[in-house]
C-alpha cells in the first residue's frame, strides 16, 4: 500500500537536516530545493512593519517556498521557517562560538518560544499554512557545563537557532519542553500531514 500519490511531486524548500529527517521518518517522498532568501533583510523589514513573530515566520516561509515554486511550478512546495523569541527578543542563528555562548547565557534559566511556520504552495498559489509555538524552558546550567556543551556541539552551533539540537546533546540544556517534537525540530508535522491528506497527496 502506498501512502503517497504519484502526483504532485513534493518539494521541501529547506536545507535543514532536521526537517528532512522528520519527513523521511514519516515515509514521504520528496526532493529538496533550498533557496537563497536574505533572511536578515526580511526579518528587519518585518520588524520595521511591526509584524509579530508568527507573521514574520510565515513571510520567511513563503519567500522560501516561492523560490522553489518558480523552479518547479508543478510541484507542491513546503516552505518553513522558525524564529526563537524570548521576552520579545528575536534570536538569529549564532555566527560563531562566541555568539552561541552569549545566546545560551541569555536563554539560561528562562522560557522561550519557537515560532515555527510551514506554508505550502503550487506555483503562484499559496494553499495552506500554519504556525506552531512550542515553549521550552532552559535549566540554570553552570558555566562549566556550558563550555563542555560548546565543545561537544562545536560543529553544529551555527546551524540552528538557539544553538541547540533537541534531538542531540542539546536536550541536556532543558528543564521543560511543551509542544510537538517535530515542530520543535522545525516542521509542525501532524498539521502538515492533515493538509496533505485533504489535498490528496496522502491517502486518507
Report how far residue 23's alpha carbon sits from residue 20's, in angstroms, rounded to the nearest whole number: 5
DSSP 50: T
> Which has the closest alpha carbon to 46: 103, 2, 74, 85?
85
Query: For residues 60 and 39, is the Cβ–Cβ distance under 8 A?
Result: yes
**Burial zone of 201 (CB within 10 Å; 0-12 exposed, 13-18 middle, 19+ buried):** buried
Active site residue: 52, 55, 72, 81, which one? 81
Phi, psi dihedral angles at 48 (to 5 degrees):
-65, -35
DSSP 171: G
Known catalytic membership, residue 98: no
Phi, psi dihedral angles at 122 (to 5 degrees):
-125, 120
Cell of 96: 560563531
Tell me the catalytic residues. Answer: 81
Amino acid at each position: 500500500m502506498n501512502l503517497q500519490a504519484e502526483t504532485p511531486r513534493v518539494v521541501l524548500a529547506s536545507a535543514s537536516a532536521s526537517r528532512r529527517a522528520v519527513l523521511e521518518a514519516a515515509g514521504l517522498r520528496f526532493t529538496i530545493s533550498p533557496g537563497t532568501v536574505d533572511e536578515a533583510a526580511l526579518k528587519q523589514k518585518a520588524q520595521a512593519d511591526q509584524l509579530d513573530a508568527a507573521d514574520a515566520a510565515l513571510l520567511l516561509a513563503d519567500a522560501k517556498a516561492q523560490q522553489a515554486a518558480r523552479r518547479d511550478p508543478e510541484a507542491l512546495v513546503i516552505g518553513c521557517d522558525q524564529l526563537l523569541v524570548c521576552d520579545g527578543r528575536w534570536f538569529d542563528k549564532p555566527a560563531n562560538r562566541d555568539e552561541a555562548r552569549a545566546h545560551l547565557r541569555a536563554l539560561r534559566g528562562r522560557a522561550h518560544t519557537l515560532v515555527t511556520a510551514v506554508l505550502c504552495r503550487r506555483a503562484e498559489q499559496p494553499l495552506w499554512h500554519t504556525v506552531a509555538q512550542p515553549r521550552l524552558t532552559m535549566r540554570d546550567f553552570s558555566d562549566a557545563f556550558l563550555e563542555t556543551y560548546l565543545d561537544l556541539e562545536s560543529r553544529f552551533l551555527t546551524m540552528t537557532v538557539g544553538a541547540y539540537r533537541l534531538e542531540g546533546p542539546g536536550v541536556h540544556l532543558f528543564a521543560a519542553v511543551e509542544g510537538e517534537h517535530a515542530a520543535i525540530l522545525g516542521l509542525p508535522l501532524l498539521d502538515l500531514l492533515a493538509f496533505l491528506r485533504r489535498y490528496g497527496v496522502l491517502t486518507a
